[in-house]
Amino acid sequence: MDLVEVAGNRPHASLPSGRRSGVRGGVRSAAGASRTGRHPDCSVLPDTPRLTSDLYLSFRVHGMRISRIAPVVVAAALLTAGCGSEGDSNQRSSAGDGSSREQHKPVDQLLAVELTGPQSGVVDSSDGLKTPEPDSGAEFTEKVEHKLRKDLLRAAKVNGETTADCPDGVTLKASATSACTATYEGVEIPFEVTVSDSYKEGSFLIQYNAEQQKDLLVAKRVYHEFWEQRGADGGGGYEQKVSCDEIPAVQAVNRATDTGHRCQVWHELGGKDGAGRVSAFAVWMGTYGPDFKPLGN
């Protein structure tokens, strides 16, 4: 509920309206390294098939010599299994030299905008937001319009151009509701302004409530708050990547619903086959700004 003084030159006071003020980065790819190697005894293998064939023939003709020939055949077979093509050697060495971890770097795990730190221009409190104050003797409607502009700036947390208009003025009757529209950087947010049911004609102070019909979504604030909540801890000593969808700079969205935008954190620790763990979040608009709700991962 807001409170506005309408008589005299004394400055008016306003009660809280119910809202609290409070990088794209490069994608690094890493190809797994591999080593080549050759079995130290592979140079003797070209003669092995002939040796095996001769021994097999000897087995057929002289069955009594099985016990003496069989160990030689087995040794030759083991020697052959110990060698392989250069390609086979490459596959074995790349799996065992740590390069598989490099292949699982989050190259294809990032969303469109990688976040690497806080966003510039996002203020910590409403003290950093600038809106010219109306004159103390301004009409009630003008004071309401100014308050709507301040509400949008508090929602954005980023300074920007604002306007407000109540085309038919604000009706000064108990429980009367008037339609107004405020804009931030050209994006329109409708309001319904309702005068308190305790209003009396000629009242020195007027109480009213201004209710937004849409929420203001500002990409910079979303990126900033997701980083502060999910990225600023640095990953606890492990590598992590924080990213979000490419969100429109300013957007009017439905209240208390999923905006359709996503943010996520890739963390080196966990996941299948050492690929890391991805934690995904849906971007909602809550009472006090962006709200990040975990999705089933």
Average pLDDT over the chain reads 73
| Residue range 117-176, pLDDT digits in tens | 999 999 988 777 888 888 888 999 999 999 999 999 999 999 999 999 999 999 999 999
Angle at 271 between CA 266 and CA 272, to 5 degrees: 140
**Which percentage of the chain shows pLDDT scores above 70?**
63
Q: Are 240 and 268 in contact (CB under 8 A)?
A: yes
9, pLDDT greater than 60: no
Largest CA distance in the chain: 127
- Write out pLDDT tens, residues 36-75: 344 444 444 444 444 333 433 333 333 434 444 344 333 3
Whole-angstrom distance, CA of residue 197 vs CA of residue 2: 13
More confident residue, 32 or 144: 144
Where does the pLDDT of residue 20 fall: very low under 50, low under 70, confident under 90, or very high at 90 and above?
Answer: very low
Please give the Cα distance from 206 to 193 (Å, whole number).
Answer: 12
pLDDT value for 81 = 43
Closest residue by Cα to residue 162 from 200, 131, 123: 131
Tell me if 191 sits within 8 A of 163, measured CB to CB: no
Whole-prediction pTM value?
A: 0.64
For 245-268, the pLDDT digits (tens) are 999 999 999 988 999 999 999 988
Query: Would you state the pLDDT for residue 129?
Result: 86
